Every structure is written in C-alpha cells, then in structure tokens.
C-alpha cells in the first residue's frame, strides 16, 4: 500500500512539474506534428520539408511523417505525435479512417488543421488550408476546351476525350473533376465532345468510381489507359485525356505513347496535369504533356504555419495570399473555416516564368 501511495505521489509530482512548466511547453518535446499522406507523389516531400522548416523557424519543435498512402500507418504516426504531447497537428490524410485519431486529438485539446485535403466525416476540427481546388479543375477543363477549340467544333465531327479522376477517398478529386466538367459538360451535352469510356458528368454520378484512381497510383492509371486503348478507344483517335495530376498524366502518356497511333509528340492527345512535378514540366517543355496546374507548396506550407502560429498563440489568423471561405468545404458534419490559395495555370508558354523565375526549380533541375 505504502509503495503504491509513494508511487502515485511521485507520478503526481512529475505530472505537476510538467503542468507547472506551462501550457507553452508540451509533455515530451513536441509542439507540432506534421502528417503527410504519401511520398509517391513528389509534392508531399516538398510540403513536408517546407512545413518542418517553417515550423522550426517559427520556434516550434516539429516532426514530419509520411503515411505511404496507408491510413493505418498514418494513424499510428499521429498517435505517436499525441503521445509525444503535440499541441497541434497538420494533417494531409489518406481517407476517412483518420477520423478516430482526429477525434482523439480533439478530446486531448489538440488543434487539428486539415492540410490540402479536407478530412470528411469529422466534426472534431475547425480549420482547413488548401488551394482553390475547383479552380484547379476549371484550368484543366479550360485548357482542353481551348486546345481543341471546342467552341467551334460541331457535333457532326466531335472531338474525343477520355476521363480520369483522382483517388475516390480524396475529397479533392471531386473538386478537380467538378471544376473541369463545369467547363467541359456543355460540350459533352451539345455533342461537340464525345466521351470514350465511362462518362460521369459530375463526381456524384455513379460512373465516377469507374474513372477514379485508387490512392492516386500511377500503375492503376496506366493499366486503365492500356485497357481503354485495346477496348473502348480502339477504333477512335483520342484528342484529349483529362488527367487530374502530373503523376497520373505521365503514366497515361506512357501508355498512349506505346500505341502506334500516338507514338510521336504530334500525335499524342492533349493531356492535362497538376502539381508542376519536374518530369511533367520537362514534358510540357517538350510538347508531350499539354499543361499542369501549379500549387506552390512553399506558400501552402507558410500559410499552414502562420495559421498554426495564430491558433497556438490565440491571435487572429492572417494568411498571406489566402481567401477565407466559410461555405464551400463541408465535412458532412460541419462546414470548416477554409483558407484558399490561388493555383496557377501552366503551359509551354509560361513554364519558365512560373518555375524558374520564381526559384521553385533551378535551370539545372529542369535540364
Ligand atoms: C493534391 C494533389 C496531388 C494528389 C495526389 C491531392 O489531394 O491536392 O496536389 O496531386 O492529392 O497526391
């Protein structure tokens, strides 16, 4: 009994010391836990590095992890952050399976910021920072409409397109697709644009699941493109492929280029993208990929750190270059306060200005 009493006293004293060291100090040496979803899409490594550097420069003890597109693994990483006493979490999740740890964090009084991807099905957090995802899709749709001159195409000789979307568990994939289709849908409906393969007109259509790409995996998109080429697209010439990001765009281009119909730069269809990955910027320069949408990870990371800093110090957030949106992003349980940054449309015309002049890539990296 006595031993137990002494032990409890000792524990109480330790707890007291931790408490006495103030709310500004976390229990085991961590202020901000940064959980990124994956590394197979290049941008997340840049996001993770920029977030870590930004948080540390602002005086916080921070750690970054990558979840390998595996929600179970990411939950473990977030659990570790909680155990280490993190006071705030910045999370780019994989799917709704993250909700259990987000709830646990909230119950511990830990602030959660959804980073780039909305955490759906949760009411256990209040803040989200991302780019205007609908606009990303609009850029993709508009690029196709302009490159194919759809306004002057008649339904008697329509242009052919195939549709791809991102991960069905990533809320952004819906926004990208709906943004693109807001531009392309009228042409599909007028008959100027013929959809080869499954033809959802909105992300809420049942056929969306047939064009979605599990966990944004390049091999899945490549296999689907190959399959289309030997089935639905066998007897047509594709003029465009709506690809939601650069990783998938290059996988699709690889499949296309292996088909004799599309084995030169001139015969490849117009393929869209997103992120401004190095290999895609090179492909745009070389005329293989038509466009990308640049979302500067330096700005998103800086915005997230500024938001984190404001929330931790109890001041009003002011995020450079971001627009506050309190209506659009609904988790299904609540609408979260969202800070939206502006994406940039990139083609062969302006890629140098966007990537080299801004210092995002060096001349050597793009060689
Ligand atoms: C991001 C994109 C990225 C994709 C795959 C999306 O949530 O917004 O930038 O290409 O995930 O990682």
Tens of pLDDT along 178-192?
A: 999 999 999 999 999
Going from the Cα of 99 to the center of ligand 1, the distance in angstroms, rounded, reads: 19
Query: Is residue 148 domain-resident?
Result: yes
Structural domain contains residue 3: no
Q: Which residues line ligand 1 (CB under 6 A)?
A: 41, 43, 116-117, 166, 170, 172, 216, 245, 274-275, 295
pLDDT digits (tens, 9 = 90+) for 132-188: 999 999 999 999 999 999 999 999 999 999 999 999 999 999 999 999 999 999 999
Interacting residues of 75 by C-beta distance below 8 A, sequence separation 6+: 97, 98, 100, 101
- Position in ligand 1 atom list of the atom nearest CA 117: 7
Nearest-Å Rg of the Cα atoms of the chain is 23
The answer as to whether 143 is a domain residue is yes
* 290 and 258 both lie in a single domain: yes
Q: Does 79 share its domain with 186?
A: no
- Position 91 in a domain: yes
Residues 195, 138 share a domain = yes
**Do residue 152 and residue 279 come from a single domain?**
yes
Residues 106 and 172 in one domain: no
Question: What CATH number has the domain bearing residue 229?
Answer: 3.40.50.2300
Do 116 and 15 belong to one domain? Answer: yes
| 263 phi, psi to nearest 5 deg | -90, 10
Residue matched to tokens 């280490």: 84
Q: pTM score, two decimals?
A: 0.92
The total number of structural domains in the chain stands at 2
Which token pair is 285?
Answer: 């320069």
* 284 and 263 within one domain: yes
* 3-state secondary structure (DSSP) of residue 210: helix
Q: What's the CA-to-centroid distance between 14 and ligand 1, angstroms?
A: 43
Same domain assignment for residues 113 and 143: no
Tokens of 27: 């229990």
Residues 60 and 206 in one domain: no
| Site to substitute for ligand 1 among 275, 276, 297, most atoms within 8 A of C-beta | 275
Domain-located, residue 75: yes
Distance CA 216, CA 214 (A): 5
Q: 16 pLDDT exceeds 90?
A: no
Range of the domain at 325: 11-125+296-342
pLDDT of 12 > 80? The answer is no
Which tens digit of pLDDT belongs to each residue from 307-343? Answer: 999 999 999 999 999 999 999 999 999 999 999 999 9
**Is the pLDDT confidence value at 7 over 60?**
no
Please check whether residues 175 and 265 belong to one and the same domain.
yes
* Contact between residue 274 and residue 96 where contact means Cβ atoms under 8 Å apart: no
Displacement of CA 313 from its chain's centroid (Å) = 28
Residues 108, 200: one domain?
A: no
Task: Tell which residue, 184, 178, 197, 196, has the closest CA to residue 153.
Answer: 184
Both 278 and 182 in one domain: the answer is: yes
């Amino acid at each position: 009994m006595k031993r137990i009493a002494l032990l409890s006293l000792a524990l109480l004293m330790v707890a007291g010391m931790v408490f006495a060291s103030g709310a500004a100090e976390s229990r085991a040496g961590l202020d901000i836990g940064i959980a990124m979803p994956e590394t197979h899409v290049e941008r997340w490594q840049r996001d993770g590095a920029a977030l870590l550097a930004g948080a540390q420069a602002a005086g916080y003890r921070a750690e970054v992890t990558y979840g390998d597109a595996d929600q179970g693994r990411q939950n473990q990483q977030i659990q570790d952050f909680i155990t280490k006493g993190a006071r705030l979490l910045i999370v780019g999740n994989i799917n709704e399976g993250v909700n259990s740890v987000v709830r646990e964090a909230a119950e511990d009084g830990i602030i959660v910021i959804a980073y780039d991807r909305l955490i759906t099905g949760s009411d256990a957090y209040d803040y989200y920072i991302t780019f205007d995802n609908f606009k990303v899709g609009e850029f993709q749709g508009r690029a196709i409409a302009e490159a194919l001159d759809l306004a002057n195409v008649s339904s008697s000789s329509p242009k052919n397109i195939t549709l791809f979307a991102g991960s069905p568990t990533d809320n952004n994939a819906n926004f990208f697709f709906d943004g693109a289709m807001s531009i392309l849908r009228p042409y599909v409906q007028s008959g100027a644009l013929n959809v080869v393969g499954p033809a959802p007109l909105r992300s809420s259509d049942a056929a969306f699941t047939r064009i979605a790409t599990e966990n944004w995996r390049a091999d899945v998109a490549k296999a689907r493109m190959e399959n289309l080429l030997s089935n639905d697209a066998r007897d047509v010439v594709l003029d465009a492929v709506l690809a939601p990001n650069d990783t998938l765009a290059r996988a699709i281009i690889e499949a296309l280029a292996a088909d004799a119909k599309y084995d030169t730069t001139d015969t490849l269809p117009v393929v869209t993208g997103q992120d401004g990955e190095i290999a895609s910027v090179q492909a745009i320069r070389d005329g293989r990929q038509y466009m990308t949408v640049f979302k500067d990870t330096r700005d998103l990371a800086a915005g997230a750190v500024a938001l984190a800093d404001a929330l931790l110090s109890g001041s009003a957030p002011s995020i450079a270059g971001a627009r506050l949106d309190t209506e659009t992003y609904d988790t299904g349980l609540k609408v979260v306060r969202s800070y939206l940054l502006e994406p940039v449309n990139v083609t062969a015309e302006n890629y140098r200005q966007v990537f080299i002049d801004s210092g995002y890539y060096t001349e050597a990296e793009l060689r």
